[in-house]
Amino acid sequence: MMLRVLFLLTLPLCAVAAPLPIPDHGPALRIQGSNTIGAALGPALVKGLMEHQGLQAVHSEPGDGANEQRVVGKTRQGKTVTVEVAAHGSSTGFTALKKGSADLAASSRPIKDSELVDLEPLGDLKSPEAEQVIAIDGLAIILNPSNPLNTLNTEQLAHVFNGEVSTWEALGGRGGAIHLYARDDQSGTYDTFKELVLRPRGKPLASSAQRFESSEALSDAVSHDPQGIGFIGLPSVRQAKAVAIVDGDSQPMLPVTSLIATEDYPLSRRLYFYLPPSARNPWAKALVDFTQSNKGQAIVAANGFIAQQVQAIGVEPRASMPEDYQAIARDAQRLTVNFRFEEGSASLDNKARQDLQRVVAYIRSYAKLDKQVTLVGFGDAKDDPQRAALLSKLRAMAVRRELVKSGVVLRDIRGFGAQMPVAANTADEGRIKNRRVEVWVY
């Protein structure tokens, strides 16, 4: 899909309360969880918050163990403020919340049902205030730069990482035996790969895979191994080569910014902070608010992840698109946000609720309140194509109801049913991704 960026809007979302109290003893904030977030993004956001608070000489220093660090700053009165960040994998963040050894969990996957039940005494961690999408990431499938393959599908990936396909020749390439590189069991990156690629096909990861706690170490290993293949978060691709991915009947998609921002890319994922509703640490809430602000999202982008600021992009019409969709693409620009829904529900999910604010601010900023916005709904395949089309239009109408509350008068609402899938319809995750609403502006 050819995309051209036309303009970018940044917008303030949340004001950060200031000044924050400085504890007499111990850290001001303890964050545990995802290595993807904790390695660089989390500390960078903490530094940004500290500087926003007026702290001086803000810097990171090694913590007590591997993949642990402290972010340190000083008040104008010379008092030291410390935030501890431990990055041992998403599941460790939820364990730490339960133990009371963390104030905030960083996760590169959604909270599991079992964790939700386990943490129920802390409040509903799926509530909009607790579950905060802070960035979008894409899992890149990486090869050695000398590997001639440029495209793989998710079915092939499952067979490769299960060990059933063990040579590059079986994939149409060359190089002999395939060497597998994977993140460790504590990693949200591994959880995401398992959920998106392996589990829907009933495939466990091959025992021959070399496992890594560090994303950077994994990427460097693949880039030095002509027979290597691995999966990694976008900021850690480094010197390796990312390939285009196909899921079901989707188009081949590289992990590029625009396709990840809309979550159309098959291996896109959300990065989260989980703030327990019972939390009483003001630094935790302040960090969440700062992260959702303009400054916070700029830090997200600077660290190689996809910020949630709204862009308008031009989409080149293709012959494979429905004619009516091509007509929209010729006359309008698409916003880099897709509204998605809670599983088995017509209710917008937590990210969609956040995105409503961003989209409304965008529409107001560009004076497009009066019949200059079209909503386009899509869905998963049904036995009856007309039912699929109706359901996709009803999803668009659910978004319309929310926009109308903010004074937006829509130009049109369209439903394209199961056309133009971005994921396979054979698993729940794929069906959820296909049930989406696009926003187009004239």
Q: Can you tell me the distance from the alpha carbon of 33 to that of 92, in angstroms, rounded to the nearest whole number?
A: 5
Predicted confidence at residue 18, as pLDDT, reads 64
Predicted confidence at residue 3, as pLDDT, reads 40
Buried residues in 394-403 as b, exposed as e (16+ CB within 10 A): ebbbbbbebb
Residue 4 belongs to a domain: no
- Could you tell me if 176 and 109 lie in one domain? no
Helix (H) or strand (E) holding 402, with range, is helix 385-404
Asked if 97 and 275 count as a contact pair (C-beta separation under 8 A), the reply is no
- Could you tell me if 418 and 337 lie in one domain? yes
Residue 270 belongs to a domain: no
- Could you tell me if 323 and 284 lie in one domain? no
- Could you tell me if 124 and 147 lie in one domain? no
Q: Which long-range contacts (CB under 8 A, 24 or more apart) does 253-257 make?
A: 253/1, 255/138, 255/139, 255/140, 256/3, 257/306
Instruction: Using the 3D structure, point to which of 292, 318, 352 is the last residue of a domain.
Output: 292
Domain containing residue 317: CATH number: 3.30.1330.60
Asked if 432 and 407 count as a contact pair (C-beta separation under 8 A), the reply is no
- Could you tell me if 227 and 286 lie in one domain? no
Phi, psi for residue 274 in degrees, rounded to 5:
-115, 120
pTM to 2 decimal places: 0.83
Predicted confidence at residue 101, as pLDDT, reads 98
Predicted confidence at residue 4, as pLDDT, reads 37
Per-residue pLDDT for the chain (442 aa), expressed as one digit of tens each? 434 333 334 444 444 456 899 999 999 999 999 998 999 999 999 999 999 999 999 999 999 999 999 999 999 999 999 999 999 999 999 999 999 999 999 999 999 999 999 999 999 999 999 999 999 998 999 999 999 999 999 999 999 999 999 999 999 999 999 999 999 998 888 988 998 899 889 999 999 999 999 999 999 999 999 999 999 988 899 999 999 999 988 989 999 888 999 999 999 989 999 999 999 999 999 999 999 999 999 999 999 899 999 999 999 999 999 999 999 999 999 999 999 998 777 789 999 999 999 999 999 999 999 999 999 999 988 888 898 899 999 999 999 999 999 999 999 999 999 999 998 887 777 888 999 999 999 9
Domain containing residue 83: CATH number: 3.40.190.10
Residue 223 belongs to a domain: yes
Q: Can you tell me the distance from the alpha carbon of 431 to that of 424, in angstroms, rounded to the nearest whole number?
A: 7
Q: Which domain holds residue 334?
A: 309-441
How many domains does the chain fold into?
Answer: 3
- Could you tell me if 416 and 435 lie in one domain? yes
